Amino acid sequence: MMTEEEKWHFDLFGYIVLKQAIPVEDVQRMVELANRWHTLPDSELAPPLRSYRNPIDHPTLPRSIVNAHYGDDVFQRLALNCEIMRCVLALTGNCPKLLAVSLTQNTKESDDVGFHGGFTGGWRNPANDYQVADNKVFATFLNAAVSLVDVPIGSGFVCVPGSHKSHFSKPPDVNIYSNSPFVVNVTPKAGDVVLFTETLCHGARRWTLETPRLTVFVRYSTSYASWSPEVQPIEEYRDKLSNDVCELIQVAGFQHRKQIVNKLLTEMGTDLE
């Protein structure tokens, strides 16, 4: 489901960019919701929407509203987007689990985000695995950064390309403002998706425009990952989700093929074997 060029790029750099993967009308809807939700305090957000960290206590932290898929169907469509899922299925051996859907806003007042992920501090999370064998790429933890706005050069997502395979700590003088070839600034357009493995060393430069940077982070893991026991659906709000999204969220046994996976593979015209 991934082309040979996509596999080559993902393996070499740790990320790929899916151009115009999101329908324009869905981008517009998500922007509309972002502009509404981010004006509200947590107390006025419809549960289970909430900030990852309350902006009252962390006023300069980029605000991330979690559980967005419970708030509107557009985020459920996003989690099952065929362009994203064809790659997620390929990278997880057709055994994916939806971990989170977060609607994030960065403004001129927001802090930048230093490097994290990868082998940044002499330690790598053993739950984040990355392997290549038999012409297949395998990653246990993936992040789809869906841009809702055009990102200018010098702002937004940065990474150390190839660091997802590094076994040595990053030099301390390499930071998010370092230049190529050590650090790459990826600047997507509205509707583009930056899909990367969480083993990649990545961060975000300070936002410089008057209008905010709006990004939806859709995170996936392998369906049998045991290091995220809090992932369910949230029982109290389960009726807000489609059956397909509910199944995608659930833990499954090793190499168990979910019905939603078979459905997606059929829609993509891929052999179910």
Q: In what order do the strands lie in the sheet with 141-147?
A: 15-18, 193-197, 141-147, 213-222, 96-106, 63-66, 50-51
pLDDT greater than 70 at residue 89: yes
One-letter amino acid at 191 equals G
The structure tokens listed for 244 are: 């397909």
Whether residue 253 lies inside any domain: the answer is yes
d(CA 38, CA 103): 9
d(CA 9, CA 182): 16
Closest CA to 48 of 24, 28, 68: 68
Largest interatomic CA distance in the chain: 51
pLDDT band at 22 (very low <50, low <70, confident <90, very high): very high
Look at the chain and count its residues. 273
Q: Could you give the percent of the chain with pLDDT greater than 70?
A: 93
Whether residue 164 lies inside any domain: the answer is yes
Write down the pLDDT at residue 230: 60
Whether residue 39 lies inside any domain: the answer is yes
Write down the pLDDT at residue 270: 82
Cis amide bond preceding 161, omega within 30: no
Write down the pLDDT at residue 239: 97
Whether residue 159 lies inside any domain: the answer is yes
Whether residue 272 lies inside any domain: the answer is no
Q: Which structural domain range is residue 96 located in?
A: 4-267
Query: If you ran DSSP here, which 8-state letter would residue 95 be given?
Result: -
Write down the pLDDT at residue 141: 94
pLDDT greater than 80 at residue 9: yes
Query: In the chain, how many domains are there?
Result: 1
Complete DSSP assignment for 199-241: TS-EEEEPP-SSSPEEEEEEEEEETT-SS-TT-S--GGGGGGS
Tell me the mean pLDDT in the region 85-105.
Answer: 97
| Pair 232, 249: CB distance under 8 Å | yes
Write down the pLDDT at residue 170: 87
User: Residue 183 is part of a domain; what is its CATH number?
Assistant: 2.60.120.620
pLDDT greater than 60 at residue 102: yes
Any idea which of 18-22, 146-150, 231-235 has the lowest mean pLDDT?
Answer: 231-235
Whether residue 28 lies inside any domain: the answer is yes
Whether residue 153 lies inside any domain: the answer is yes
| Pair 67, 234: CB distance under 8 Å | yes
Measured CA distances, 80 to 6, 21, 204 (Å): 20, 12, 26
Mean pLDDT score of the chain, rounded to an integer?
93
d(CA 173, CA 87): 34
One-letter amino acid at 93 equals G
pTM: 0.95
Whether residue 273 lies inside any domain: the answer is no
| Pair 53, 41: CB distance under 8 Å | no
Q: Could you give the percent of the chain with pLDDT greater than 90?
A: 84
pLDDT greater than 70 at residue 67: yes
Write down the pLDDT at residue 268: 93
pLDDT in tens, 222-238: 998 765 556 679 999 99
| Pair 78, 228: CB distance under 8 Å | no
pLDDT greater than 90 at residue 136: yes
